Structure 1
Amino acid sequence: MSRAKSTARRGFGAVEQLPSKRWRARYTGPDGRSRSAPSTFATKGEADRWLTLMHAELLRGTWTAPEAADITLADYTAAWLRQRAPHLRPRTLDLYRRLAERWILTPVGEGRTAVDLSALSLRTISPILVREWFAAVTASAHASASTRGTRGTRGGHPARAWAHGAGLTVAPTGRLSPAVLTSWQQAGSPQPRLVRSARPDAGRTVTAQAYRLLHAILTTAVDDELITNNPARIPGAGHVSHEERMPLKPSEVADLAEAMPEHLRVAVLVAAWSGLRPGEVFALTRADIDIDAGQLTVRRTMIEIPDQPVAFGPPKTAAGRRKVALPGLVTEALFEHLTAHPSRPEALVFTTSTGGPVRSGARSVAMRTARNAIGRPDITWHHLRHTGATLAAQAGATQAELMHRIGHTSTRAASLYQHASQARDAYLAAALDTIVRG
């Protein structure tokens, strides 16, 4: 094998003349690996100048590994998801995969204005390109989220919306009768008419989620020394400001439960007075309920992934495994519910009419009907968790007690529920009055 004819040492790197009379430049990168210039040089001066440029990039902190030019965002994203899969919760991993497939691995937008980052190498993705991508995601997500069924039947059977429009009486959840399905088919199987929502912030949540995912992927690329700076640096792009959730009053909780289908009434009371997450409520088994002690044990949560059977896994956080005491009225309602629906200890507490788990889609349909009936169209199942935490704080729960009750390890999360309220202030005033009067 031919050897270099001579080697010239310098302050940074080295140049050597090859038997072909051309010059090769080599240097050691910050990762300890030796690298050569992509091509040889006709003169020693050209090789020296190339090394000087490499040295300048290292000193400025703008140097990137040459092999980074060959790694596309698509390939790196696939590796990023694969490496994190063992450490992510199933729902989180499914969300990341869907976000990546929809917004990062495919072109965003239409026609000549479409932005496609997937085929670009990591080092060619600039802040300008990221801003163009973000604008395209914002517009596309807004257009997609603004299209709604006239009766909010997302995830439901279109025959149910048709039946409502035709004046037929159908339950908000559960199986449709053969007669309704036959009538719908005879009518031509009409689909819900789509309308445009006027909400200016439609799609903002999914846009922020997509941006946070891209930012996380590129942050890892910086850590891997494939790029020197994260080009995803749009202030506030990953943050969404939601309207403040107004907790329900105790009377509203009772009214909401009464407006629910029979098999979900007690679930509303448990959710609103315990502060459990919806997935935790509908993962409870009869063995988790201790009527005599007036408490329940949270040891798992329901996991729903599109096109997959319902599964159950550990709670969202380590603090999620906990025992939660219930008010007497809720314990009594639970006792009556369990007595009216006898089953095995391992059976779910709240089920469908056929004994299966209650999926989020069915729960949401029932919630829409009930919340409209009591005049609170803003309520969601997660809203009940907020209500339970707020009521516990108003009752005087300390931060540590509230963190245990709602299953949080973050003091910040607990402090959100300990905001001042008029009702709590009146309670404190009454307590101070007692002290004043001795």
Structure 2
Amino acid sequence: MGQERRSFGSIERRSGYFRARYVGPDRQRYDAPHLFSERIDAEFWLGEVHRSIERQEWRPPVKVKGGPDDLDTLAGYARHCLAERELTPRTREEYGRLLEKLIAPTLGSFKLKYLEPDQIRRWYSTVLSADRPVQRKHAYSLLRSILREAEDEGLIDRNPCRVRNAGKVRRTRDIEPATPAELNKLLELPPKQGLPVVLAGWCGLRSGEVRGLRRRDLDLTEGVVRVRQAVTRTKGQVHVGAPKTAAGTRDVGIPPHLIPYLAKYVAALPVTGRDGFLFPGGDGVSPMSEKALRYAYGKARKVIGREDLTFHDMRHSAASLAGMTGATTAELKAMMGHATAGMVERYQHATRASRSRLAENMSKLAEL
């Protein structure tokens, strides 16, 4: 396991992965919160830390609270449980926020073995706001998963999370997916603005996955885009790592009519090697920023007159278009990067065209 010395920090290869570490202004040594699959990602992470130090914005990473003395309390066990999980930086930050803001203040001091279903129900109905259903669902799901681990380890007899329908969120708005004509109109935009949105709309890529694409991930001969990493941002730091779940690592077919546009775009890119980002930032090295992608998507919505669509709605569009071609649930799972069929169902919609076609076909039955 060789260790590369650098002007700032060091990178060590460990079992096919790379660990980045550095000495902070406080003269303490810090490791990156996760391993990197590519050396270039470890280098980028160290560069971001170095820049935050130079701008005097660096703060010591927050260490996990709760030691072995309080593992019998919900808060102590939950912190230990999350510290042991393999999570992306963005997910770790979100779980930590849910735990410290919504779970620990009310339930954290309770001994695990004394937690009862009635206490969980009161917490769910009084602490978690019904006005924020997604946050409510995520907080409850996190607590349930933590207590499921406690049950599996024999620390409690039975998981006390038994609130009926607590993990379900009713859709608050109807989504009319983008049509093929609308998506193709985006090809009229400058490529760096239009193509990221087009890949989301036709291939179902998340925003972080689009930004994380490297030139080697685009196989125009086979007609495939390979999703191998995603870009996330936590507390001012940009992270490039594996997708959130194993199912997120996938190969997605590119509609053939897009290939000439992608080939022309790639040919015009600066020569940065196959490890270079497909949609680089202004410096030509780092990935496209969230702000730049939001700007590009703002342009795209105006071009097609669809101010109602969010960027994430492009995934709905991709799933709906694939469904209209007769894609099976298994094919949609693979395309969207989901592990369960239930998640796929969230992205399938009946478009105006399909509703009309269904009504016409039903009407024909009356003619028999």
TM-score bracket for the superposition, by shorter chain length: 0.5 to 0.7
Contact 1:296 1:325 (C-alpha < 8 Å) held by counterparts: yes
Find 1:335's aligned residue among 263, 266, 279. Answer: 263
Cα displacement string for residues 249-288 of structure 1 (whole angstroms, at most 9, x for unaligned residues): 12332455657x7622111112111222322222222222
The structure with more radius of gyration: 1
Structure 1 contact 267–281 (Cα < 8 Å) conserved: yes
In structure 2, what is the Cα distance between the partners aligned to 1:105 and 1:362? 37
Give the Cα–Cα distance (whole angstroms) in 1 for the partners of residues 162 and 137 of structure 2.
Answer: 13
Deviation at 1:424, TM superposition (A): 4.2
**2:135 equivalent to 1:138:** no
2:112 pairs with 113, 122, 141, which one?
A: 122
Q: Which runs of 5+ in 1 are unaligned?
A: 1-67, 107-115, 143-200, 432-438
Alignment of 1:374-393 (within 5 A): 374-393=304-323
TM-score by length of 2: 0.66
Distance in 1 separating the partners of 2:338 and 2:289:
24
Q: Report what 2:141 is aligned to.
A: 212
Asked whether the equivalents of residues 320 and 350 of structure 2 are also in contact (C-alpha less than 8 Å), the reply is no
How far has the Cα of 1:214 moved from its partner? 1.6
Identify the residue that residue 228 of structure 1 maps to in structure 2.
157
Aligned-partner Cα distance in 1 for 2:157–2:244 = 37
State the distance in 2 between where 1:295 and 1:222 align. 43
In structure 2, relative to structure 1, the CA distance for the partners of 1:427 and 1:96 (3 Å cut) is same
SS of the aligned residue for 1:310 comes to strand
Amino acid at match of 1:333: Y
In percent, how many aligned pairs have the same letter? 34
* CA distance 1:70–1:326, change in 2 (3 Å): closer
* Change over 3 Å in CA distance of 1:262–1:77 after alignment to 2: same
TM-score where L is the length of structure 1: 0.57
Q: 1:416–1:217: structure 2 CA closer, same or farther, 3 Å change rule?
A: closer
- For residues 291 and 418 of structure 1, the distance between their equivalents in structure 2, rounded to whole angstroms, comes to 27
Read off the aligned partner of 1:82 and give its amino acid letter. A
Counterpart code for 1:341: L
Q: Measure, in 2, the Cα distance between the counterparts of 1:340 and 1:70.
A: 56
Residue type at the aligned position of 2:206: R
Residues 225-234 or 278-287, more deviating: 225-234
Q: Distance in 2 between matches of 1:399 and 1:128?
A: 38
What is the CA RMSD across the aligned residues, in angstroms?
A: 3.4
| Aligned residue type for 2:98 | L
CA distance in 1, matches of 2:214, 2:70: 54
Structure having greater relative contact order (Cα 8 Å, sep ≥ 6): 2
Query: Structure 1 residues 257 and 99 mapped into 2: Cα distance closer, same or farther (>3 Å)?
Result: farther
Structure 1 residues 294, 230: CA separation in 2 closer, same or farther (over 3 Å shift)? closer
Residue 343 of structure 1 aligns to a residue whose secondary structure is coil
For the pair 1:264 / 2:193, whether they are aligned, the reply is: yes
Residue by residue over 1:66-116, the C-alpha shift from the partner in whole angstroms, topping out at 9 and shown as x without a partner, is xx9982222121222223x2x33443333212211221223xxxxxxxxx3
Matched, 1:423 2:360: no
2:349 pairs with 1:395: no
Aligned residues of 2:247 and 2:334 also touching (Cα < 8 A):
no
Secondary structure at 2:120's aligned position in 1?
helix
Given the superposition, is the C-alpha separation of residues 426 and 103 from structure 1 closer, same or farther in structure 2, using an over 3 Å criterion?
closer
Q: Which residue of the partner structure matches residue 404 of structure 1?
A: 334
Q: Distance in 1 between matches of 2:149 and 2:238?
A: 33
Which residue pairs with 2:41 in the alignment? none
2:159 aligned partner, one-letter code: N
Structure-1 separation of matches of 2:247 and 2:192: 30
Residue deviations 1:382-431, cap 9 Å, x none? 21122112112212334444333333443444455566555347779999
Does the residue aligned with 1:282 lie in a helix, a strand or coil?
A: helix
SS at match of 1:304: strand
Distance 2:326 2:161 in 1: 43
State how far apart, in whole Å, the 2-side matches of 1:415 and 1:72 are. 38
Deviation, 1:333, is: 1.8
Distance 1:358 1:212 in 2: 32
- Shift in CA distance, 280/134, structure 1 to aligned 2, threshold 3 Å: same
Q: Secondary structure at the match of 2:201?
A: helix
- The answer to whether structure 1 residue 277 and structure 2 residue 276 are counterparts is no
Amino acid at match of 2:199: V
Contact kept in structure 2, 1:69 and 1:122, CA below 8 Å: no
Quote the offset at 1:324 in angstroms: 1.7
Please show how residues 245-256 of structure 1 align to structure 2 within 5 Å. 245-255=175-185
User: How far apart, in 2, do the equivalents of 1:70 and 1:316 lie?
Assistant: 28
The CA deviation at 1:359 is 3.2
Distance 1:315 1:81 in 2: 15
- Corresponding residue number in structure 1 for 2:32: none
Q: How does 1:79-228 map to 2 (within 5 A)?
A: 79-83=80-84, 85=85, 87-106=86-105, 116-139=106-129, 201=131, 203-228=132-157
Count of matched residue positions in the alignment of Structure 1 and Structure 2: 290
Report the CA distance between 1:341 and its aligned residue. 2.6
Alpha-carbon distance change, 397 to 236 in structure 1, aligned in 2, over 3 angstroms: closer
* Structure 2 counterpart SS, 1:138: coil
* Counterpart for residue 298 of structure 1: 227
1:209 Cα deviation from its structure 2 partner: 0.9
Structure 1 pair 331–427 and aligned structure 2 pair: CA distance change class (3 A): farther
1:69 & 1:334 partners in 2: Cα distance? 55
User: Per-residue displacement from partner, 1:270-327 (whole Å, max 9, x unpaired)?
Assistant: 2111222322222222222233443333333334333333213257334733252323
- Amino acid of the structure 1 residue aligned with 2:279: F
